[in-house]
Amino acid sequence: MSSRLVRTGGQKLPGLEDSMEEKKKSMTKDEMIMELMELLKANGRPKQAADVFESSAYVDMLESKLDQMTNELELNLGLIKGDFYLDGRFLQKRDTFCKGYC
């Protein structure tokens, strides 16, 4: 049961659901996580708030690694397709006038 229903004796307040939904839509993921951590701390759950923080930090790290891997895969695909070539230690974009001879 949501805390909103507990505070109102189990009855929903008209219009409150709509405003809460609008607020959720306008919040970023980070803001939602911060609000969750604040609510957990306010309700005497500091360990769960710390767990949420650690989990979100881990997800951020994984997202960064995935972005890095995606960039590397795109570069490798460009090498395979011939869009790029290695000039010594440097990656060069193949110009259209090279026509595959660069």
Q: Could you report the per-residue pLDDT of 46-83, keeping only the tens digit for each?
A: 999 999 999 999 999 999 999 999 999 988 888 888 77
Point out which residues pair with 85 in neighbouring strands.
92
Q: Does the pLDDT at position 34 exceed 50?
A: yes
Cα–Cα dist 61/66, whole Å = 9
Nearest alpha carbon to residue 30 among 68, 9, 2, 60: 60
Entry pTM: 0.56
Q: Where are the beta strands (DSSP E) in the chain?
A: 84-87, 90-93
